[in-house]
Amino acid sequence: MKNIRFLILLLSLPCLVIGQSHSHTGAQALSYPDIEGYVTLKTDLHQHTVFSDGNVWPNIRVQEALRENLDAISLTEHLEYQPHKEDIPHPDRNRSYQIALEEAKAHDLLIVHGSEITRSEPVGHSNAVFITNANPLLAEDAASPFVEAKKQNAFVFWNHPAWYAQRPKGNPILSDFQKERIKNGELHGIEVINTFDYSEESLQIALDNNLTIMGTSDIHGLIDWDYTEKGMHRPITLVFSKNRSLEGLREALFKGQTVAVYNDLLVGKEEYLRPLIKASVVIKEVSYLPKTSILKVTLENISSSDLLFENNMPYSFYSKPPLFTIEAGKTLDLQIKTLDIKDKINLELKAMGAYTAPKVHPVISWEIKVD
């Protein structure tokens, strides 16, 4: 009996050793290309755990992020709303961050220190990220958490402006309180995508007030249950940073260098959205079909978003409608009727799943050389 137990122990040891250094990257790992001059960081800076009204321990958030191949996350517990505090007493509002930081130690994941400042309308909810201490942000009045966040050099964004629990018509309105915060340099960004909702009105507010465009999951349950098993990804913010570091990420957020992504939906300023989509589509093969002036071009989508395009060229397609999708990670052949044999053309496509303003799609151009 003893020997058998020993044998089982021996057999299980290698697994334990391997377990120390194994990768958590799952089948749902996200991938987006870098753009010229920047590293593309995949982030979700709005999440909850049992340290506010979420349902999981902070280590699960770290493991979920590793499975989805994210670069940075923030656990932004409600400072004021603490439904589990009887069961999990924690006078220190930094605990969630500290536990996540400990969990991430052995892994290549950036943990951003954050908190959700929680008020009813017209103040609403805001996330302060890159804080140094959450406790002083806890206050009775509405304005002092923002003053304190600024003192800590935090990046602050307005959460779910269109949330129907606070906005029954789903129409966000920038309040005088928020206008004051923007004027004081205390509010820097806005969620245009939160959970499952993309708000065109929030995008317009971002553009009108030069706020950084954000997309976040605001996850309370499990990423697997809410997104992955439905064949979806969580909303994320791609941040174009000079390097893969917390300081680079912080600086890029303040400069508004982002694109919010939710599956096949991409929302951002043209100067970042255009190079992102351009880099996401790689031209693989170019040749004329024998004895024709029909140019066959093979395109590969190296991003994790299905890309929906409309032909924006004077030339039409053979065997393909003008509106088509290149699925994430897949290739697609276009047959372009160029009428004459050309040695180069500009492939020009309108990205129909991408928005630089409400109802405005960017046009992307690739120069194609024919050998």
Contact 5, 35 (CB under 8 A): no
Cβ proximity to Zn ion, 189 vs 248, nearer residue: 189
Stretch that binds Zn ion, among 159-167, 185-193, 283-291, 320-328 (CB under 5 A): 159-167
Least gap, CB of 258 to Zn ion (angstroms): 19
Dihedral class, residue 83 (left if φ above 0, else alpha if ψ from -120 to 50, else beta) = alpha
The answer to whether residue 148 forms part of the interface with Zn ion (CB under 5 A) is no
- Chosen residue from 159, 195, 199, 301 binding Zn ion by CB under 5 A: 159
The CB-of-48 to Zn ion minimum distance in angstroms stands at 6
Which residues on adjacent β-strands are paired with residue 335?
296
Bond from prior residue into 322 cis (ω within 30 degrees of 0) = no
Candidate segments 60-68, 152-160, 174-182, 344-352, binder of Zn ion by CB under 5 A: 152-160
**x/- letters, 118..147, toward Zn ion (CB under 5 A):** -------x----------------------
CA 214 to mean position of chain CA atoms: 7
Q: In 80-98, which positions are buried (b, 16+ CB within 10 angstroms) versus exposed (e)? A: bebeeeeeeeeeebbbbbe
Any idea what DSSP says for residue 316? Answer: P
Per CB under 5 A, does 237 bind Zn ion?
no
Site mask, Zn ion, residues 179-218, x = CB under 5 A?
---------------------------------------x
**With CB under 5 A, what is the number of residues at the site for Zn ion?**
4
Nearer to Zn ion, 159 or 212 (CB): 159
Say how far apart CA 70 and CA 239 lie, in whole Å. Answer: 11
Strands (DSSP E) contained in 247-326 are: 258-262, 265-268, 281-288, 294-301, 307-311, 323-326
Q: How far is the CB of 64 from Zn ion (least distance, A)?
A: 16
Of 158-166, 169-177, 186-194, 350-358, the window that binds Zn ion (rule: CB under 5 A) is: 158-166
Give the Cα separation of 108 and 88 in Å (integer).
Answer: 29
Binding segment for Zn ion among 96-104, 156-164, 202-210, 247-255 (CB under 5 A)?
156-164
What phi and psi, each to the nearest 5 degrees, are found at residue 98? -65, -40
**What is the number of residues in the chain?**
371
Phi-psi category of residue 369: left, alpha or beta, with phi > 0 → left and psi -120 to 50 → alpha: beta
Cβ distance to Zn ion smaller for residue 215 or 275: 215
The residue sitting closest to Zn ion, measured at its beta carbon, is 125
Please identify, among the stretches 108-116, 164-172, 260-268, 325-333, the one whose residues bind Zn ion according to the rule CB under 5 A: 108-116
Residues that bind Zn ion (CB under 5 A): 116, 125, 159, 218
